[in-house]
Amino acid sequence: MAPSYVFGFLRGASICMRSHPAIIRARMPAGLRTMATNKPVDSLFSDLTSSVDKKRAAGKETANNNVAVAEEGDSGVIQYVEPEKDSKLQEFLNPEPLISVDTLLTPLKKEIYLANVAKNGFFKNMDLVKLKDDNSYTLNLSQKEIEALEPSIYLRSWRIKGSIKKTNIVLRALKNLPLKKAITQLHFMEKKVARDLSEMLERGVEDAQKMNYDVDDLYVAESWVHTDGHWMKRVDCKGRGRAGVMTFKWVSVRFLLKTKQTQRRLKYLASQRANNKDVRTFVSKGKIRGNAPGFYRW
């Protein structure tokens, strides 16, 4: 058999041997054996390692074949759909706004509730209202039911780069501010998280227009920040051979926007508490003079 040239790596060094192929395979370690062949090779490791370019070309051909099969209507192949054209994805990312009065109340209760709000400017429990059928009704709702039925917009963010402590500083500055004024304040804040929060509140303006709410009546009623705890960690190299851990924090923010109807109700409840508050006096409610002893004191 004609001698053949084999190149390989043995103990970190490149060698060239001219010997019988069987002897070469016997001398080299099992993990680094190469097959001696006279065929032209595309890789340094001959037939054991296929060419990377060939793999890439085969992958492209497979992808093209899959696309072609998918176009023919084969249900077994996963078809690529653009995110903008995926109806289920868009429905999940941008759900339709839900008006609680239409879904949580029966037709009669809804009519009583709306008449109560039109009369008082907010819902007042056990207030007698008269409907179009000349009948008078009262409606009694719990505190949670009243809060759920009031016009509100719930905003939720995805993961935002920042910490809870820094984000909470911005959220405290937006407490009870009108929606448009809160957006203006965020535009002029130097905090990095302010840009993401302003985009959230601008989405609230769009949702208000879809639900036929007056944007000028909306204000930031509640806001809170939390984290899922899945933070990215990297090595922080320091001097003198020391090292620490760098933590890249991510947070998520929620907003609850409400209208002036809620403000009027809260103001009424505060006045009721003030009227029902006991008057503070320094005179005790007991007897000024104690029990008479059984004898006279001269």
- Quickly list DSSP for 111-136: HHHHHHHHHHSS--TT--EE-TTS-E
Single-letter amino acid, residue 278: D
User: Please, which residues have CB within 8 angstroms of residue 105's CB and are 6 or more apart in sequence?
Assistant: 113, 149
Helices (H), the chain: 21-27, 52-72, 87-93, 100-104, 107-120, 143-149, 164-173, 179-187, 194-210, 260-275
**What was the pLDDT predicted at 147?**
94
Single-letter amino acid, residue 280: R
pLDDT tens, residue by residue, 139-169: 999 999 999 999 999 999 989 999 999 999 9
Determine contact, residues 150/263, Cβ cutoff 8 Å. Answer: no
Regions in the chain scoring below 50 on pLDDT: 1-19, 21-24, 26, 31-38, 65-70
Q: Number of folded domains in the chain?
A: 2
Domain that holds residue 106: 100-145
**What was the pLDDT predicted at 165?**
95
Do the domain assignments include residue 160?
yes
Residue 193, SS3?
A: coil
Do the domain assignments include residue 25?
no
What pTM was estimated for this model as a whole? Answer: 0.65
Could you give the CA distance from residue 30 to residue 48 in angstroms, rounded to a whole number?
Answer: 13
**What was the pLDDT predicted at 81?**
85
**What was the pLDDT predicted at 245?**
96
Do the domain assignments include residue 258?
yes
Same domain flag for 139 and 201: no
Residue in this structure with the two tokens 């099992």, named with its chain if needed: 30
21-41 as b/e: b if 16+ CB within 10 A:
eeebeeebeeeebbebeeeeb
Strand partners, 4: 19
CATH number at residue 268: 3.90.470.10
Could you give the CA distance from residue 102 to residue 129 in angstroms, rounded to a whole number?
Answer: 20
Same domain flag for 183 and 240: yes
Residue in this structure with the two tokens 């062949």, named with its chain if needed: 37
**What was the pLDDT predicted at 294?**
72
Residue 16, SS3?
A: strand
Same domain flag for 203 and 263: yes
Same domain flag for 163 and 269: yes
Do the domain assignments include residue 285?
no
Phi, psi dihedrals of residue 40, rounded to the nearest 5°:
-65, 135
Do the domain assignments include residue 40?
no
Do the domain assignments include residue 254?
yes
Same domain flag for 158 and 262: yes
Do the domain assignments include residue 46?
no
Same domain flag for 131 and 187: no
Do the domain assignments include residue 214?
yes
**What was the pLDDT predicted at 18?**
47
